[in-house]
Amino acid sequence: MASISMHASAMNQVIPNEIWFSLQSEDSSTMKVVRASHAPDGRKVDVKPILRIIDNILLRASPAIVEGIYEDKGFPEEDMIGRSDVDAKLKTLASIIKRVSSELFAYNNLPLSGTFKSNNVNQTIIPYGATMDCKCSCSGGRDVHTTIMMILDTLSSYSWDAKVVLTVAAFIVNYGHEFLLFTSSEANNSAIAQSIASLKQLRDITDHAKFSKAKIDAIIKLLKVIMAVTRYIVELQNLPLDSIATDESPMSKAIAYIPRAAYWTMLSVVVSASYIASLSGHEESTTELLDLSRLASEGSKIQVILRSYRTIYKEYEDEKSKPAYWDLVKTISSTHSNNMTILKTLLLVDGKQHLVGHTNKRIHIEELRKMNVFLLVSGLDLSKEEIDVLGKLYQEAKTKGEIQYEVVWIPVVETIAWDQEKQQRFEQLLALMPWYAVPAPSKIKAEVVKYVKTEWKFEKNMVLVPLDTQGKFGSLNAIDMLLIRGNKALSSIFSENEESFWETQKTWTLELLLGGIDNNFSLVLDWTKQGTMVCLYGGEDIEWIKEFTSATKNAVTNISPATRMELVYVGKKNAIKEVEKINSEIEKGNNGEKLSRYWSDLTSIWFFWTRLESMLYLKMQQCRNSKNDLIMQELTTLLSYDGSDRGWALFCKGSSEMALARGDVALKSMEEYGKWRDSAVEKGLFPALSNHIIKESQKKQRCSRIILSGDRQEIPNKKLSSDGCQCSMEKCFVYRCCAD
């Protein structure tokens, strides 16, 4: 077998008591030396892309390591910044990461150039970051503190958050793949992984659980704390300068504490690297497990302290903004003759009098004086579908609307979290918008953020707040009303007369279900006007879809060949990725014939389901007795069917004749068409089918569930019931990792 000469004298090293003591005291000689090593030259390193890559690697090695770190921000999306941008940033840091890697190798007493012998051929092996003329002291085992100081010396000109992230990056570069071999179940069964393990002289990784599970679990636990502490260091290091400008500021203590947290992080990284390397050389010792456990315990204490500093910062900022907040509330609550006072109070930042738009367009805020304005409040997680739909309504109002309006976007993100990545995301979203935005989101006043969260109930879902030319606010349900009725709802929105919204729509019709601005909706309505029966269906069970479409075509052909029926797949709520796959399967079809029609534009599917939710939200607020409200019942039933494991189908004839069925009832009705065929010949296809669906649905009633997206606070605890179980539904929370 091939072999690489490796020394492991440092593998069993006990962490000296002096180091444990230094972690307890700010005034220890060790911490004084650590602080003295810090000589920043003013350079600014954007560490967020590096952190994201590290997280992605660890996520694949062991999801438990990154689990829970992003509880208040959500896991960062990989497409937030273009790949080329990330590569360019990493290229500038590659050499420094290599130098830190060399120090880690030096501590583990590994030869920076080794000889690999195989088939009588000598090959030189140079670990990542090492060079043939490397000046590191690698001849003997270096103590852990000396290694940390060497790393700090290498990174002396960098900020504390950059020191920590670059050290963790060097660790991942050298030990991430090796650790992946020991933690990934897929790797354990991989021939490639076994080959790599052989080259690195790792013990048979299929047996690693037997020999090293305790150490691996301990390392995973420690790495989780390392990443949590690293994230807090980055967050606190990037506080606004005015919050740490004086020694009296509460955050000055946080900044003073960061070097100790950084030292612990580097200590933990060096020890973890050593013990991961030792997985290939010997059994774990009690000392190693105690070191790892004690480090994790100390790190948890540091994590709590850093978290408390972040909480103190938020409370400090909130306390500072209290007088300003009540001044703002008083200003907004006063009577105005126009909208300028409110707009300037909410939108002006740093004294700037303009708003920005895509392609660098600008508009002076005074140009909004005689206009109705929608204030769009959201985070940076607006979807393309949301922007597309609102954009169509906006353009329609501009060209042919009786009531015209302008839209101003107010992006609400914690200033403590604002960085170059957030700025790029802001610019990407703004480029998709035909309206304007606050020019510097990071400078939005704290009292404004507090106001939109307190008074407008903004949490995560976007809020659209109407403000008329007289400075009066309209309905806070504006977004729901617009999605349901489009710009026809504007008069109700700006007059805040929500009761009138439903006066013209008291029955459940296909126009209500499919009304709006979408061309796919209009096409379905045109079919029904021409006498064509339509079947809208949804779900994500492709086998059920194949069986149902085949059975439906067969039944219609055998019962009434002259009847034209269009089958249209409308997807499933919050399952866009699955819907894309299903659309492909429908297009592929059987024997070259696609299974049915489908909406290829995913915006149409998003719009369809979001409109239904909007209708339900409005109805829940206004409807006193859901059992007596037909629209409420149909909405609840359709959304509950969508929440089932299989599918559903809605058969439509004309505008008002509709029959809704669960997936199992719809399929069974079509497969057993012989049972209602005579009735269809006598009364017509739709009446016979509708009656049969009602009978089949009543045979076996089922309890229902509805999963509503977002953070709606107005949802009542008990209000809903569907055509299944007649009990009222209980309000509960459903947690999930993502929307798809």
The string of pLDDT tens digits covering residues 169-225 is 998 887 766 666 666 544 444 554 455 455 455 555 445 544 467 777 888 889 889
pLDDT of 31 reads 87
Chain mean pLDDT for the chain: 78
Give 140's contacts (C-beta < 8 A, 6+ positions apart): 9, 109
Burial class from Cβ neighbours inside 10 Å (0-12, 13-18, 19+) for residue 66 reads buried
What six digits make up the tokens of 525?
């309505």
Taking only the tens place, the pLDDT of each residue in 279-309 is 655 555 677 788 888 899 999 999 988 888 8
Q: Largest Cα–Cα distance in the chain?
A: 97
pLDDT value at position 349?
85
Which pairing describes strands 533-538 and 565-569: parallel, antiparallel, or unpaired? parallel
**Helix-strand-coil split of the chain, %, nearest 5:** 55, 10, 35
The pLDDT score that the predictor gives to residue 110 is: 46
| Nearest C-alpha neighbor of 205 from the set 304, 315, 279, 302 | 279
Percent of the chain with pLDDT over 90: 34
**What are the beta bridge partners of residue 374?**
407, 466
Task: With H, G, I as helix, E, B as strand and everything else as coil, classify residue 106.
Answer: helix
Nearest residue to 545 (alpha-carbon basis) of 517, 569, 510: 569
Q: Average pLDDT in the 225-233 region?
A: 92
Determine whether 604 is exposed, middle or buried from the number of CB atoms within 10 Å of its CB (0-12, 13-18, 19+): buried
Give the sign of the dihedral formed by CA 521, CA 576, CA 693, CA 700: negative
pLDDT > 90? residue 463? yes
pLDDT at 498: 67
